[in-house]
Structure 1
Amino acid sequence: MTGPLGYGLGLKDCSLIILFFSILCTIPVGYLATLGPKTGMRQMIQARFSFGYYLVSVPVILNLATLTGFCVIDSVIGGQSLSAITHGHLTPDVGIVVIAILAMLVCFCGFKILHRYERFAWIPALIAIVIATGTGGKHLSNQAAFETPEASTILSFSALIAGFLIPWAALAGDFAVYMVPEASSTKVFAYTYGGLFLPTVPLMVLGAAIGGACPNIPSWQAGYESTSVGGVLAAMLEPAGGFGKFVVVLLAFSLLGNIAATMYSITLNFQLLLPWMVRVPRFLFAIVITAIVIPVAIRAATSFFDNLENFIGVIGYWASAFVAVVVIEHAWFRKSDCSAYDHEKWDKSNMLPSGLAALGASLLSFALVVPSMAQVWYTGPIAKTTGDIGFELAFVVTGLLYVPLRYLEIRIQKRV
């Protein structure tokens, strides 16, 4: 919905941008997932072999903020959906609390139960989406008229797509590590790529269609102004009566799997933040993050789409720089050899790189990234002409800088 309502893009333009940039931005997620089974390391553990034992805390903190933000987004959508079907009797705040706590309980069950839950939870979610589309589908052709977009608008919206997809690369190995080392890399890549790409593109396009129709459908517009995404879903399903309300509840609860899986990765990242945190039981981190998500989500719900644009637009920058470092470390310096990651070194700071090359390359790239940012709260001098090209520059510039800086680091430390 952000394309039409936030950027003034028509359905055709949104669909083409979503398709092209999703094809491109899902690649690093699939690629890094293939390293999990072969290295036996979670994503941020593997990152220690480029960012070092201590400086890896920087991408860990950024990843924690990113994952927490995704939990906030899903909690807001779920909470607003529950509120919409009660016509305000259940406030969005209470709905957010319900969704966040239920997701935490699912997270408590551990990876095996979570994995089984995810295997089947998508089925009722898909059915509910089909029902919602079928019920309100007759209005989707009633699209609002938008002007022909400028290149800068297209690139700015593409940065939003990248900001949603690329950060998944920072946790791809967290789940792939459970696969056997002999697992086919081609299959791991294909399953990961397809698992992210196939649901993302149709749902984003559907969201764009709904957003484009909203201004022309009074009940949808009223729902959007009342409780944002949840209000629109409730308005779409209103003709179905009580069954429609049940479908909205089903859609709200379908977010539990996303939030719980994200919380699972958050608990793993917490243990890497500081060495002593590895001794803290992970369920305590789940409680802490839930306590953070609830108040932040309640505050974010007051201006959801503005906060959504601000958050997703920014996270693509650091994630692109991170991907550039990790990919070049593996493909160039480790010769794409997963056995080059010595398991005896992962928790020994004196045997790992200092991380100065990785962090230095990432930070220096922002000399070009910042002027190329186009956000609600800031537009750089380059972005005023080109649109947001920050994530592209973060990847390219970080990669170019990392190679010479890493060679210098190896020469000084006399080890890879």
Structure 2
Amino acid sequence: MTPTQGTGHSGVPDWYQRLLDAGIEENGIKPVPVGQRTSTQYSNLFTVFFTCLLCLLPVPTGMLATLEFGMSLRDSSLVILFFALLTCIPPAFMGIGGMETGLRQLVQARYSFGRYLITVPLLLNAATVTGFSLVSAVVGGQTIASLNPDNVSVNIGIIITCLVSFAVSLLGFKAVHFWERWTWIPNLIALVIAVGFGGKYLHLQSEVPPSTPQQVLSYGGLIAGYFITFGGTVSDYSIYHNPRGVSKLKIFLYIYLGLLLPSVPLLVLGAAIGGAVTNVPSWNAAYSVTGIGGVMFEMLAPAGGFGKFVLVLLALSVIGNIAISMYSVSLNLQMLVPFFAKVHRFIFILVTMAFMIPFAIRAAQEWESSMINFLAVIGYWAGCFDAVLIIELVVFRRMDYATYDHAIWNVGGKLPPGIAALGASLGSLALVVPGMAETWYTGPIAERTGDIGFEMAFVVTGLLYLPFRWLEIKLRGHL
């Protein structure tokens, strides 16, 4: 029997087969058996995070320390370094699980939150990942617009950035890793050139009093939100790597350094720019029109036409960040309801992009407050999520990745009910809410200490999960 017209020998439409032949990833959220975990390019786990963060995204985050929180460059740098060293640990540790289990990060979470209650962290993680994409899209859009602010608006720049990123995330795992493996090179060159031309003004720092504990903890919580949220996606990029013949410490270090090394210098650079921007009239005027993109334009202005070329590279540097975000959020959406698992990732990428562009345009209108609120709030739920998954693996599964049984990954009756995980997370709110310090709410504890909501979320959730999960296992008679 010959295949029907327009259908290949494998029974799929010709157009779809051409996409597969081009390298598009067909697998979505299904577990990857050991036999299919064949990649030995473990350095990809360094470059995928190193490249996605070696872009303009950390710069405006760093600017908040001096420009909005009123901290000195010295104090900002110390806070950035300390909190980065600390909060890169949980996601780097969690990333080992993708290689060892062959399970996406939120599929692993089903072994704590259950088949149905996982919907709560799914929605929160999808919102978080999309939020980071919004920030990257705004930064890229501002940079493109700064080339010709009279004729190209930030909104147009956002649309251009999103559409280019869509193509990379569409192809999937191999394309994402290939893009991230090499594009750090032009990103790094462009950033070094920008600092080389504009760095002569960075010493013009505003004089501010020594930072208070409240400022330190509030900005530290924001940095925690920047890093610890990778715990919701990190395993998505290691599930095809071969777990045999490589140490877990090596994988941990690849991921840890991939997160840490590009971020700290660029966050500190952002803090330096934020401290100087009000003292450099051309920077200040450009920042009021096109944000960090305008500042970068002024830094590169002495380079003339070459400077504009470098600025284009800087604008494109955020593509790697948006691409991996869209890749993960499409996987999250596939898990929401059983029917969605049959819908290909690129449909969800399209839908997400359709929502993301107007939200990015809106966020760009109130840039600093949008950044502060987003980065701080996401740290709260991510602290709960990371604590649950780490306690589950270390205490209850005793670091035995074989207990994540592929046979039950989609069977609600055999997975934990998730009451312990969600109960511990919600229970932590009793101390998280009083410890919050946001522009729209400051809790009674935070009034004295600064924002300690993230610390409360991580520690209290972990402490509550221990007895809650023990009781859940005792009542069920098994994990």
* Structure 2 length-normalised TM: 0.86
SS for the counterpart of 1:53 is coil
1:104 pairs with 2:166: yes
1:391 — aligned with what?
454
1:191 pairs with 2:257: no
Q: How far apart are 1:88 and its partner, in Å?
A: 2.8
RMSD: 0.8
Determine if contact 1:40/1:181 at 8 Å carries over to the other structure.
no
1:149 — aligned with what?
211
Letter aligned with residue 66 of structure 1: T
SS for the counterpart of 2:437 is coil
Determine if contact 1:325/1:358 at 8 Å carries over to the other structure.
yes
Moved more, 177-186 or 263-272: 177-186
Unaligned runs of 5+ in 1: none
1:285 — aligned with what?
348
Determine if contact 1:267/1:283 at 8 Å carries over to the other structure.
yes
CA distance in 2, matches of 1:264, 1:312: 20
2:436 — aligned with what?
373
CA distance in 2, matches of 1:152, 1:411: 42
Q: How far apart are 1:373 and its partner, in Å?
A: 0.4
Pick the aligned partner of 1:271 from 334, 337, 345. Answer: 334
1:121 pairs with 2:215: no
CA deviation digits over 1:136-183, x for unaligned, max 9?
A: 011111111111111011100000100100000111110011211213
1:250 — aligned with what?
313
1:342 — aligned with what?
405
Letter aligned with residue 217 of structure 2: L
Unaligned runs of 5+ in 2: 1-62
Letter aligned with residue 366 of structure 2: S
2:464 — aligned with what?
401
CA distance in 1, matches of 2:147, 2:72: 29
Letter aligned with residue 87 of structure 1: P
Q: How far apart are 1:415 and its partner, in Å?
A: 2.0
CA distance in 2, matches of 1:184, 1:86: 50
CA distance in 2, matches of 1:115, 1:381: 45
CA distance in 2, matches of 1:330, 1:11: 39
Q: How many residues align?
A: 416
CA distance in 2, matches of 1:100, 1:405: 43
Letter aligned with residue 129 of structure 1: L
Q: How far apart are 1:239 and its partner, in Å?
A: 1.2
Pick the aligned partner of 1:68 from 130, 139, 152. Answer: 130
Pick the aligned partner of 2:290 from 209, 224, 227. Answer: 227
1:259 — aligned with what?
322
SS for the counterpart of 2:203 is coil
CA distance in 1, matches of 2:351, 2:211: 43
1:176 pairs with 2:238: yes
CA distance in 1, matches of 2:307, 2:416: 56
SS for the counterpart of 1:7 is coil
Q: How far apart are 1:241 and its partner, in Å?
A: 1.2
SS for the counterpart of 1:351 is coil
Q: How far apart are 1:414 and its partner, in Å?
A: 2.0
1:212 pairs with 2:250: no
CA distance in 2, matches of 1:195, 1:390: 26
1:237 pairs with 2:329: no
CA distance in 2, matches of 1:7, 1:227: 21
Identity of counterpart residues, as a percentage? Answer: 51
SS for the counterpart of 1:372 is coil
CA distance in 1, matches of 2:383, 2:149: 41
SS for the counterpart of 1:292 is helix
2:89 — aligned with what?
27
2:424 — aligned with what?
361
| Larger relative helix fraction | 1
